[in-house]
Copies of this chain bind each other. A is one copy, B any other.
Amino acid sequence: MKIDAQDIIQGSQLAGARLIRLLEEEDPAGIAILKQLYSHTGKAFVAGLTGPPGSGKSTLVNALISEIRSRKMRIAVVAIDPSSPISGGALLGDRIRMRRHSEDDGVFIRSMATRGHLGGMSKTTRGVVLVFDAMGYDVILIETVGVGQDEVEIAQFAHSTAVVSLPGMGDDIQAMKAGLLEIGDIFVVNKADTPGADEVVEQLRAMLDISNRSQDKWMPPVIKTVATKDRGITELVDAFWQHRSFLFDSGQFEAHNYQWEFHFFRHLVMEMAADRIFGQIKNSPAGQTLFEDLKARRIDPFSAAEQLLEGLEYGK
């Protein structure tokens, strides 16, 4: 079961799947391999696809895979699934998707569960994207079922984020749109053959017009798709590619990559620092007193944190 970094770099799906498993389990051995892979990353185009439940994202992803394969590129997909890993939901989803592309080694699909971790998507997803990147996939597609925080997170990982809407959703979706405007580089109205599609397109265009987009000079297109009939898929892939060119030409592609690295780096530092601090004080008498005081509400957490960090020295 030893994983060789070289196998990953040569694209072995077996080795890739094993490494992802290690990362999900937060096994330090996984990190050790990521370190070796790191210099082989930074090349892939990372696309995000997000939208509410029932917007047909899975079908859309399947159609996108076929279109991208027909353009002779290799694609890896990570589906962020809010259901439990135990539920079988993730596995079932995998199996259904895989069926269509299971004979094709230019396609690699993984579902990931994120339950139970605060910001749990961030760390593992970043790792998985690095693995796909090192494996040499041209396109990495991150799919999330999300209406809240998850969408903000996906935008932090993807060069281009496509936001899927559909005709006739309720008030929650309407209220959400303004928020989604901020993260969408491309807007997709799926199920565009059902009533109300043109209204949603109009609404989105109107909102995009009044929002201040001049800053980065990219005007997000609104694309109608019928994923079940492969309609609009070529246009969608074209839009991703236009946005990719725009990012390259404006220097934003590299800027994105560095921003992610830095964000990820800061997160690692935070976690490692906390581990170290709590590890050091856990068994100290002063630490015990602090925890007792917290439990009895004799001290508030803000003052406790300040008190704890007084002793912290960065001596380098």
CB contact list, A174-203 vs B, under 8 A: 174-179, 181-182
A39 at the interface (CB under 8 A from B): yes
| Inter-subunit contact B286/A316 (CB<8 Å) | yes
A144 at the interface (CB under 8 A from B): yes
A244: min CB distance to chain B, Å: 20
| Inter-subunit contact B265/A305 (CB<8 Å) | yes
Q: Which of A1-9, A214-222, A225-233, A277-285 contacts B (4 or more CB under 8 A)?
A: A277-285
| Inter-subunit contact B118/A314 (CB<8 Å) | no
| Inter-subunit contact A121/B149 (CB<8 Å) | yes
| Inter-subunit contact B262/A294 (CB<8 Å) | yes
A276: min CB distance to chain B, Å: 6
Q: How far is the CA of A86 from the CA of B229 in the complex (A)?
A: 37
| Inter-subunit contact B176/A301 (CB<8 Å) | no
For A145-186 the 0/1 string (1 means CB < 8 A from B) is: 111111111001000000000000111111111110110000
Which interface residue of A148, A268, A304 has the most chain B CB atoms within 10 A?
Answer: A148
A-side interface residues, number (CB < 8 Å): 97
| Inter-subunit contact B277/A269 (CB<8 Å) | yes
Pick the 8 closest A-B CB pairs, nearest first. Answer: A311-B316, A87-B178, A53-B172, A38-B300, A54-B170, A89-B175, A268-B305, A82-B148
Residues of A that sit less than 8 Å from B by CB: 31, 34-35, 38-39, 41-42, 52-54, 58, 80-84, 86-90, 92-93, 113-122, 144-153, 156, 169-179, 181-182, 258, 261-262, 264-266, 268-274, 276-278, 280-281, 284, 286, 291, 294-295, 297, 300-306, 308-316
| Inter-subunit contact A273/B120 (CB<8 Å) | no
Residues of B within 8 A of A87 (CB): 175, 177-179
Residues of B within 8 A of A114 (CB): 148-149
A158: min CB distance to chain B, Å: 15
Q: How far is the CA of A312 from the CA of B316 in the complex (A)?
A: 8
Q: How far is the CA of A39 from the CA of B301 in the complex (A)?
A: 11
Residues of B within 8 A of A83 (CB): 175-179
Closest B residue to A92 by beta carbon equals B175
